[in-house]
Amino acid sequence: MSADGTWTITVNTPMGAQATTLSLSSDGSSLTGEQGADGSTTAIYDGSVEGDEVRWKVDVTKPMALTVSFRGKIDGDKISGKAKAGMFPAMAFEGSRA
């Protein structure tokens, strides 16, 4: 299953649902792209894809500076998984190909 494309995902954070746009491009097992929300876009890093499983990290500055680690699974045009940010518990996310 290809991870490539633009995704609209929602992360269920302790401060409520946060919508982001994610653009992914794979090259073998390497995953690159950008993730953005509220007019700010940041490059993802440490991205990987293995079968239908994807992983990446992104640094955010709002509402505080944190690195968010995503681990998800692609099922057709759907994506879901968990995001972990600093000391906060893992947060569920889900989305679809835009």
- Report all structural domains of the chain as residue ranges with CATH numbers, in order of start: 5-97 (2.40.128.120)
Residue 88 binned pLDDT confidence (cut-offs 50, 70, 90): confident
Q: How many whole angstroms separate alpha carbon 54 and alpha carbon 33?
A: 12
For residue 42, what is the enclosing H or E element?
strand 40-43
How many C-beta neighbours within 10 Å does residue 47 have? 21
pTM: 0.93
Q: Please tell me the predicted confidence (pLDDT) of residue 1.
A: 64
